[in-house]
Amino acid sequence: MVGSVRSRWAVVTAVAALVTGGILVSTPAQAATASIGVTTPVVYADSWGSGIDVTGGGFTPSSTVTLSVDWVRDSDGSKVHYGDTTTSASASGIISVVGWVPAMGPDSWTDYTLTLSATSDAGDSSNTVPFDVRNPPGIETNAPSLTTAQFMDPTIGLFVQASGFTPGETVAFSAVYNGTNLPAPTALVADTYGSVSWQYVRTAPAAAGSVVIQAAGATARWSTTVAITGATIGGSPAPAGSGGSSDPVVPVQATPRGLPVVSG
């Protein structure tokens, strides 16, 4: 194993178990009789940070209120229950929960929206608050080091994902390999997860050394270094400062699931 990245298969397995167990249900829409809100609707995958702060009103005085986090399927409204907690409404029908951390960390899945809603034992129901789940800020590569053969392998190459940008933000990559500026995309647009990705496959001569990568936008800037090891392939590397223009610029779609794993 040359390298690996954060895996979310534990969450995938848990969700599969929930669906298999019959917790995936379709719930008809109901008119809200109460209202809730969260102080920070933006959360990052795998962590609730300091927790969820929820305020609300319009509940039956002194009723028991259940706050529920669910994945709601965008296509049909069916739900996969994610976690819940209870609190008591005040004599004025107000609730306040500070720092609630559900047992499972937040995540993003195609065709699902992570939401928060509330019901009470007196029959009250609230509006639904969607969470904006983004990839954790930072920059990741498919491996901390690559051999020259892997660097030139079109099925591997160098894969980079940078996150923590505002969705829609323009992000520029730059990369320097042994003093050589590599061709890199300079106007990628951050996706709904706040991420951009790029794959580079070396087609010119490859030698041991390193690739220094930067990703910069208006709100964030990240950098990382990937070591290149192994014997020189294809002759002498290009002189420092040359562009290596024969190598294509290949932006790829960012993913909320993590990066490819390089093995060998």
More confidently predicted of 11 and 218: 218
Same domain, 103 and 57: yes
Count: domains in the chain: 2
Same domain, 144 and 109: no
Q: Is the pLDDT of residue 63 over 70?
A: yes
Q: Decide if 34 contacts 120 (C-beta within 8 A).
A: yes
Per the structure, the complete domain to which residue 158 belongs is given by: 138-252
**Distance from C-alpha of 85 to C-alpha of 68, rounded to nearest angstrom:** 7
Q: Is the pLDDT of residue 169 over 80?
A: yes
- Domain-embedded: residue 1: no
Q: Which of 79-88, 121-130, 151-160, 228-237 has the lowest mean pLDDT?
A: 228-237
**Distance from C-alpha of 190 to C-alpha of 195, rounded to nearest angstrom:** 5
Rounded mean pLDDT of 136-150? 96
Rounded mean pLDDT of 154-158? 96
Q: Residue 126: count other Cβ atoms within 10 Å of its Cβ.
A: 26
pTM value is: 0.73
- Domain-embedded: residue 91: yes
Question: 3-class DSSP state for residue 148?
Answer: helix
What percentage of residues in the chain have a pLDDT greater than 90?
Answer: 66
Q: Is the pLDDT of residue 264 over 60?
A: no
Q: Decide if 36 contacts 95 (C-beta within 8 A).
A: yes
- At residue 139 the predicted structure's pLDDT band, cuts being 50, 70 and 90, is very high
Same domain, 110 and 47: yes
Question: 3-class DSSP state for residue 17?
Answer: helix
Task: Using the 3D structure, point to which of 106, 134, 162 is the last residue of a domain.
Answer: 134
Q: Give the model's pLDDT for residue 250.
A: 52
**Distance from C-alpha of 202 to C-alpha of 244, rounded to nearest angstrom:** 9
Helices and strands (DSSP H and E) totals, the chain: 2, 20
Q: Give the model's pLDDT for residue 240.
A: 39
